[in-house]
Amino acid sequence: MTMAETNTASRPAALKQTSLNTPTAVEMIGVNKWYGEFHVLRDINLKVERGEKLVICGPSGSGKSTMIRCINRLEEHQKGSIIVDGTELTNDLKKIDEIRRDVGMVFQHFNLFPHLTILENLTLAPIWVRKMPKKDAEEIGMHYLKRVKIPEQAAKYPGQLSGGQQQRVAIARSLCMSPKIMLFDEPTSALDPEMVKEVLDTMVSLADEGMTMLCVTHEMGFARQVADRVIFMDAGQIVEMNEPNAFFKNPQHERTKLFLSQILH
């Protein structure tokens, strides 16, 4: 569809020429966050260019999910500033909704709407948020269902699909809003081993089209294949950030070395 075309077309141009008004997709400057007394995010500074793919890894409780959830304000940060697509996140609800419209998110537990059919899940936001006529929305919904290779499931309910299929529907649901940035919060962690590949394949094809992606994942194969940068987080801080080859071959920080030795055998 047209939106997919704009994504593929605009990304490299924006990256190289920086002629668009906002070449930076996401910028986090000195972001800090506390849960009560607990300091979850400590002075996060991160700049993501358009079309860049970031993989974020780290031990559980290191704040990686919290960090990407701050980008679409599912979590509120208390200090510092986050600028998404040229708009700074404040308490202004209108701006938050605007940003959420343009930032897709895929969750660990899919978070599909169980009372709606697959197609209704896909068309809900285009119809109610983008005010698209139902027919057009369904056309777009079917287009993205075909892209994730399950158009035959359109009339079923989420509960009738396998985990891998549900996660692909969740990805398609985000794509229907033609987002500029996609956030993935451990998209394969809740899946059976057999289904991880089908979801990763979908993500790889999305990356190939030039989508700006931030993925929290432990799939190191995926990181090697598509990531422009890999970020390692621990105790709420960014510990190490490098391009994937150097990151895996030659980690610098002790904590990174320990982590990698645990997960790569």
Per CB under 8 A, does 103 bind other proteins? yes
- Which one of 49-57, 155-163, 226-234, 250-258 is the stretch in contact with other proteins (CB under 8 A)? 155-163
Residue 97 interacts with other proteins (CB under 8 A)? yes
**Is residue 190 within the footprint of other proteins (CB under 8 A)?**
no
For the chain, the C-alpha Rg in angstroms (whole number) is: 18
- Measured from the CB atom, the residue of 50 and 69 that comes closer to other proteins is 69
36 binds other proteins (CB under 8 A): no
d(CA 174, CA 126): 10
- Tokens of residue 161, six digits: 């699909």
Does 189 participate in binding other proteins (rule CB under 8 A)?
no
Q: Which one among 36, 37, 159, 254 touches other proteins, defined by CB under 8 A?
A: 159
The whole-angstrom distance between residue 127's C-alpha and the CA centroid of its chain comes to: 22
Q: Are 112 and 124 in contact (CB under 8 A)?
A: no
Any contact of residue 206 with other proteins (CB under 8 A)?
no
Nearer to other proteins, 41 or 169 (CB): 169
221 within 8 A of 55, measured Cβ to Cβ:
no
x/- mask, other proteins, residues 116-145, rule CB under 8 A, reads --------xx--xxxx--------------
Q: Which residue stretch of 11-19, 20-28, 139-147, 172-180 sits at the interface with other proteins (rule: CB under 8 A)?
A: 172-180
Give which of 230, 189, 233, 197 is closest to 52, Cα–Cα. 230
Query: Does residue 3 touch other proteins according to CB under 8 A?
Result: no
| Site residue total, other proteins (CB under 8 A) | 31
* Rounded least distance, CB 125 to other proteins, Å: 4
Residues 6+ apart with CB under 8 A from 115: 157
Residue 174 contacts other proteins per CB under 8 A: yes
Residue 113 contacts other proteins per CB under 8 A? yes
Tell me how far, at minimum, the Cβ of 225 lies from other proteins, in Å.
Answer: 26
Q: Is 20 helix (H, G, I), strand (E, B) or coil?
A: coil
- CA dihedral 55→188→123→120, nearest 10 degrees, is -170
* DSSP bridge partners of 240: 232
Interior/surface letters 210-231, b for 16+ CB within 10 angstroms, e for the rest? bbbbbbbbebbebbeebbebbb
Q: Segment near other proteins (CB under 8 A), from 14-22, 40-48, 90-98, 236-244?
A: 90-98
How many of the other CB atoms lie within 10 Å of CB of 78? 10
Phi, psi of 61 (to 5 degrees): 85, 10
Nearer to other proteins, 97 or 152 (CB): 97
List interacting residues with other proteins (CB under 8 A).
72, 74, 93, 97-98, 100-101, 103-105, 107, 109-115, 124-125, 128-131, 157-160, 173-174, 177
